[in-house]
Amino acid sequence: MSAPVAIGVDAGSTTWKAVAVDAEGVVVASLVEPADPRIEEQTARGLLALRAQTGAPAETPVGATGYGRKLVVASRALTEITCHARGAFTRMGRAGVLLDIGGQDTKVIRFGDGGEVQDFAMNDKCAAGTGRFLEVILARLRVSYDEAAGAVARAVKPVTVSSTCTVFAESEVVSLVARGEPLEGILRGLHQALATRVASLAGRVPEGRPLFMSGGVALNRAMVQSLGEALGRRLEVVPSPQLVGALGAAMSVLA
């Protein structure tokens, strides 16, 4: 393992992520934890663990991103938009359009040949179409992401879930279950509803531009598939999609 020279922290709304990278931008260690509202404490604890694991000295520069970025003691704090673009570019090595579905934000980021942000769009003030939407409803149905992926694949046909509002969709799903609709079909309908919502945000993605996906929701295979269907395009999931923001933050402080 080569020595880490930079650390990136992504203090998101749902999860806290950190990576340590070597001089080539290769991730040598990483941590993912559920987000603690006491961001400063969580960061101090997490960084200590990461340093202990990798032997990184205390003065290793830290780049921060995510909603809690300003509460992280860091050499540099940048938005998730800039960091996800940089992280995805580091991993994929070419320009493209990135869909990042995080806990409470869905972003569509167009970045250029140097990983620089050219344009971006985000969901509005409502959390419909974000990771939280799936999380709340899957929890309500007591289904894990992995189970959901399997169930969606098995579904014969989707049951339409018309609401993309997290609160209303939850009650809609409960009444669908009560009506005896098959769980697989409901789950597929849910994924489709979310995918349609994100696809409308993505708007027209120019042909010929590779389409990438990052964020925790990219770990959900069923969602990746539904999104691909909604967009009519193949999606490439950036490896370790949950760590892309933290990787970008680390790259921003890499000398």
Q: Which residues bind other proteins (CB under 8 A)?
A: 67, 78-82, 105, 116-122, 124-125, 203-204
Query: Which is closer to other proteins, CB of 204 or CB of 234?
Result: 204
Nearest-angstrom CA–CA distance, 163 and 166: 8
Q: How far is CA 123 from the centre of its chain?
A: 14
Closest separation between CB of residue 77 and other proteins, Å? 9
Closest separation between CB of residue 121 and other proteins, Å? 7
Query: Which is closer to other proteins, CB of 241 or CB of 248?
Result: 248
Query: Which is closer to other proteins, CB of 84 or CB of 91?
Result: 84
H or E stretch including 7? Answer: strand 6-11
Closest separation between CB of residue 104 and other proteins, Å? 9
Query: Which is closer to other proteins, CB of 24 or CB of 124?
Result: 124
Closest separation between CB of residue 217 and other proteins, Å? 18
Q: Side by side, which strands form the sheet with 117-122?
A: 117-122, 106-111, 96-101, 211-214, 236-237
In terms of phi and psi (left: phi > 0; alpha: psi -120 to 50; beta: otherwise), the region of 232 is left
Q: Which residues make Cβ contacts (< 8 Å) with residue 232, sequence separation at least 6?
A: none
Closest separation between CB of residue 253 and other proteins, Å? 14
Query: Which is closer to other proteins, CB of 125 or CB of 234?
Result: 125
Nearest-angstrom CA–CA distance, 37 and 27: 26
Closest separation between CB of residue 70 and other proteins, Å? 9
Closest separation between CB of residue 117 and other proteins, Å? 4
9 bridge partner residues: 18, 64
Which string of DSSP letters, residue by residue, matches 88-125?
A: HHHHH-S-EEEEEE-SS-EEEEEE-TTS-EEEEEE--S
Query: Which is closer to other proteins, CB of 26 or CB of 121?
Result: 121
Query: Which is closer to other proteins, CB of 105 or CB of 184?
Result: 105
Q: How many of the other CB atoms lie within 10 Å of CB of 56?
A: 20
Can you tell me which residue has the tokens 């289904």? 143
